[in-house]
Amino acid sequence: MTTQPTVQHLVPAPRHRVSRLRRAVRSWQLYVLLTPAVLHVLLFKYWPMYGAQIAFRNYNPADGFFGSPWVGLDHFQRFIESFQFERLIANTLSLNALGLLLAFPVPIVLALVVNQLQNERFKKFTQTVLYSPSFISVVVVVGMIHLLFSPRSGIVNNAIETFGGEPVFFMGSPEWFRPLYIGSDIWQNAGFSMIVYLAALTAIDPSLHEAARVDGANKWQRIRHIDIPGILPVITILFILAIGNLFNLGFEKVLLMQTDLNLPTSEVIQTYVYKAGLQQAQFSYSAAIGLFNSLINLTLLLTFNWVARRANQSSLW
Amino acid sequence: MTQLTRAQETPLSTTRSPNRRPRRPSVRTGVPSGGPWHGRLADPLFNIVAIGLLGLAIVAIVYPLYFIVIASVSEPAEILNGNVWLVPQGFTVEGYGRIFSDPDILRGFANSVLYTLVGTAISVASILCAAYALSRKDLYGRTFFMLLFILTMFIDGGLIARYLVVRDMGMLNTMWAVVLPGAIGVWNLIIARAFFENNVPGELRDAAQLDGANDFRFFLRIVLPLSKPLIFLMIMIHLVANWNAFFDALIFLDDESKYPLQLVLRNVLIQSEVTAAGGSGALDSYAAAQRIGELIKYGMIVVSSIPLLIIMPFMQKHFTKGALLGAVKN
């Protein structure tokens, strides 16, 4: 008699063709666990998505998201025709494309090199040092740039003057904005991104390396013929993701690094959205610009995913 | 001697470019004559390049941080004259004195501690709960819910709509505006779900069900104790992220008394530099203000990083492992 309930529980439900609804009701506690997170995405992700339609309306607070008058593509048209348009697109694209091009390979190289280290303690130490800057806040990193590259007291200008050069006002020069942004980005994030590649490298079958070593392959050859092919799928996927974020990268940091003087290169789409929208309260106009930006992102992501899938079978989906 | 010729017969070499001629070892020296990239010198050369590269990277990372620390206790005039390189000059702790007696900074610090603790608690709790539910294959509607979360990684309502939603909810200028909107990162949810899927055996749940444990009990008593590395990782990720966050506070908070430390830092470190470079005041007080301003800036960078320095050692053990955990799964 005592074994009867046991059997019922051990054998999964479909024996009696329990209806889906009953099954769902029976595990109501799981839905309770799920509730906070679902509420969160509904409130803070889906509601704003729905609210993004103000890009096609003339938003006024009294009428809210739905009541405001419909104006179609007026805001988009205004943005495309505005004198800002070309500069914003050019700045956004060149900052992010350059950043991607220069910053993307660095963690891969670091991972390949660190992976070859024999001494476990040195390996661990190196890893820790390399990823430690990623725990520093963007505010502090930008503050450090301001201090270290300051025209009066910055150590960089001190060094330049020591070697007989003229001090440079780095944060006030449009031409220095991109190097500083990309350089500090590599400084801060390369070590952390390296971890993913290191993980992929440890997943490579060690017997491949053994065999190669027996056959006399040196480290360069093993990296080229074993390590790189081994992590290529990971590289591809991360590259696609980075492309999908091409118009999205590090906007908070751009905002922090902006000075009145470097605006010619540092004004990007998203900082413009922030200023036009939140500082000047042109809600609908800036929402339209933001939507325009997201559409470009999504298009890039889908395109590159498609290309990658055709090229070497590793893609996001 | 025959190492190289043998290497060329292995499958490995078939991926090489076909136009590369086989290299013969030099008869006189016995060293393969492929140049340093292929010969006996290849590995030592690699080691030199590797050590050089990593050494450079380590110095490039450590030196600026080290400089900030020594500059925070050096006389600003010495920094200005370029005398501070490796050791502090004209030792002073005046900057720290000012920092720890500045009410704005202290309040920012306290606010940050509060936001960080509350935010981390909310995020970690809701992520763990949801991730466990999603890890259960018998959850009806599992695919739908996963899709609901994953879609938000690719589609976004945008800054303005987010701002308006938070405003409509009456959260502007409250702690909730800082803590709630970014509480759940889908990426973390996916990592946690993968962890549960791989580390909570199904037999365990069957056994617990026999003992009459319901889902809540099973989750609290068995799943969570089994998932300490994951919980630890989640807490660490959110502590750091919350402590370092500034943007939500920037757009959602007007009241300066509610500013977190990062926002106070931004005003001190970044806003003042530009205005100070442009404007000028009464000469005497201006110079004095400049001097103490510099000290405070260096010192604040150090002070704001102290909480992270404290948890770093705890993090180290689990962090890489945890990061790998998430990485490999995806």
Summarize pLDDT for B132-168 with one digit per residue, the tens. Answer: 999 998 888 999 999 999 988 888 888 899 999 999 9
pLDDT one-digit tens code per residue, B279-312: 334 444 677 777 888 888 899 999 998 888 777 7
pTM of the model as a whole: 0.83
> Which has the closest alpha carbon to A235: A299, A243, A113?
A243
Question: Which residue ranges form the domains of chain A, and what is each CATH number?
Answer: 1-45 (no CATH), 76-136+174-312 (1.10.3720.10)
DSSP annotation of A133 reads G
The domain total for chain B is 3
CA-to-CA separations, A222 to A298, B12, B16, B43, in angstroms, rounded: 37, 9, 12, 11
Q: Is residue B45 part of a domain?
A: no
Rounded average pLDDT over A71-92: 90
CA angle A267, A271, A273 (to 5 degrees): 120
pLDDT band at B32 (very low <50, low <70, confident <90, very high): very low
Whether A44 has its CB under 8 Å from any CB of chain B: the answer is yes
Q: Is residue B197 part of a domain?
A: yes
Is pLDDT at B46 greater than 60 in this prediction? yes
Interface of B with A in 133-162 (CB under 8 A): 133-134, 136, 138-141, 145, 148-149, 152, 154-162
Please report residues of A whose CB lies closer than 8 A to that of B307.
Answer: none
Distance from CA of B195 to the nearest CA of A (A): 16
Cβ contact B308–A286 (<8 Å): no
> Which has the closest alpha carbon to B124: B195, B215, B192?
B192
Instruction: Specify whether the backbone of A281 is left (phi greater than 0), alpha (psi in -120 to 50) or beta.
Output: left
DSSP annotation of B22 reads P
Residues B99, B59: one domain? no
Say if residues B120 and A5 touch (Cβ distance below 8 Å). Answer: no
Is pLDDT at A143 greater than 50 in this prediction? yes
Say if residues B304 and A140 touch (Cβ distance below 8 Å). Answer: yes
Mean pLDDT of chain A: 86
Q: Is residue B88 part of a domain?
A: yes
pLDDT one-digit tens code per residue, B83-103: 888 888 888 888 898 888 888
Q: Please count the other Cβ atoms lying within 10 Å of the Cβ belonging to residue B234.
A: 24
> Which has the closest alpha carbon to A20: B141, B209, B216?
B141
> Which has the closest alpha carbon to A58: A45, A47, A48, A72?
A72
Query: Could you tell me which residues are beta bridge partners of residue A70?
Result: A57
Whether A206 has its CB under 8 Å from any CB of chain B: the answer is no
Considering only CA atoms, give the Rg of chain A: 27
Say if residues B319 and B236 touch (Cβ distance below 8 Å). Answer: yes
Cβ contact A9–B328 (<8 Å): no
Whether B58 has its CB under 8 Å from any CB of chain A: the answer is yes
Q: Is residue B264 part of a domain?
A: yes
Q: Is residue B292 part of a domain?
A: yes
Which domain does B20 fall in, by range?
A: 1-40
> Which has the closest alpha carbon to B88: B306, B268, B302?
B302
Please report residues of A whose CB lies closer than 8 A to that of B168.
Answer: 64
Mean pLDDT lowest among A304-313, B60-69, B261-270: A304-313
Mean pLDDT of chain B: 81
CATH code of residue B299: 1.10.3720.10
Distance from CA of A58 to the nearest CA of B (A): 13
Q: Residue length, chain B? A: 330
Our separate counts of H helices and E strands in chain A read 19, 0
Residues B59, B86: one domain? yes
In B, minimum Cα distance to A284 occurs at B160
Residues B317, B187: one domain? yes
Say if residues A70 and A57 touch (Cβ distance below 8 Å). Answer: yes
> Which has the closest alpha carbon to B268: B306, B308, B301?
B301
pLDDT band at A211 (very low <50, low <70, confident <90, very high): very high
Residues B108, B168: one domain? yes
User: Exposed/middle/buried for A244, CB within 10 Å: 0-12, 13-18, 19+?
Assistant: buried
User: Exposed/middle/buried for B198, CB within 10 Å: 0-12, 13-18, 19+?
Assistant: exposed
Residues B169, B306: one domain? yes
Residues B85, B197: one domain? no
Report the pLDDT value the prediction gives residue B13, as an integer from 0 to 100: 39
Quote the tokens at residue A26: 């029976």
Three-state DSSP state, A230: helix
Is pLDDT at A190 greater than 50 in this prediction? yes
Q: Is residue B209 part of a domain?
A: yes
Distance of alpha carbon A119 from alpha carbon A123, whole angstroms: 6
Mean pLDDT lowest among A29-33, A232-236, B1-5: B1-5
pLDDT band at B12 (very low <50, low <70, confident <90, very high): very low
pLDDT band at A315 (very low <50, low <70, confident <90, very high): low
Considering only CA atoms, give the Rg of chain B: 28
Distance of alpha carbon B300 from alpha carbon B54, whole angstroms: 29
Residues B109, B219: one domain? yes
Distance from CA of B228 to the nearest CA of A (A): 19
Residues B80, B110: one domain? no
| Chain A to chain B Cβ contacts (< 8 Å) | 299
CA-to-CA separations, B100 to A144, A190, B106, in angstroms, rounded: 20, 34, 7
Residues B64, B120: one domain? no
Distance of alpha carbon A314 from alpha carbon A234, whole angstroms: 8
CA angle A136, A140, A142 (to 5 degrees): 120
Say if residues B171 and A61 touch (Cβ distance below 8 Å). Answer: no
Residues B169, B247: one domain? yes
Cβ contact A138–B210 (<8 Å): no
Q: How many CA atoms lie within 13 A of B280 on its CB side?
A: 2
Distance of alpha carbon A194 from alpha carbon B13, whole angstroms: 28
Residues B207, B295: one domain? yes
pLDDT band at A152 (very low <50, low <70, confident <90, very high): confident
Distance of alpha carbon A244 from alpha carbon B158, whole angstroms: 15
Residues B150, B197: one domain? yes
Cβ contact B130–A34 (<8 Å): yes
